Amino acid sequence: MAWVPLNEVYFVRPEEVKVSPLILEQYRNDHVELRTGIITHVGTGQLLENGSRSGMQATVGDRILFGSKVGHKVTVDGEELLLIAEANILAVEE
């Protein structure tokens, strides 16, 4: 059985390295560890009132930045991934 993310959700392969030198202004008084990961699966996009779907802002293979406490652990095809909502992605590497 294969799992596919829906709506504005991604499956992400987290990387072990934590990002430390980057400080986001809104978190400057709180210590928030940031992580990176690679998107492996992309959801279908947000369902709009007219019945169409919005596009996703990141694609499979993109490296993203997100908070260390974000996401839910899931196993997909024997691989441990994170299920992350698009709203929790802080940046995409160019």
State if pTM tops 0.85.
Answer: no
For the chain (94 residues), the mean pLDDT of every run of 10, in chain order, is 86 77 56 85 92 93 92 90 95 92
Give residue 73's pLDDT: 94
Q: Which CATH number fits domain 9-92: 3.40.50.1110, 2.60.40.1180, 2.30.33.40, 1.10.3210.10?
A: 2.30.33.40
Give residue 81's pLDDT: 95
Neighbours of 52 (CB within 10 A): 9
Write out 49-93 in H/E/C secondary structure: CCCCECCCCCCCCCEEEEECCCCEEEEECCEEEEEEEHHHEEEEC
Find out whether 84 and 91 touch, Cβ atoms under 8 Å: no
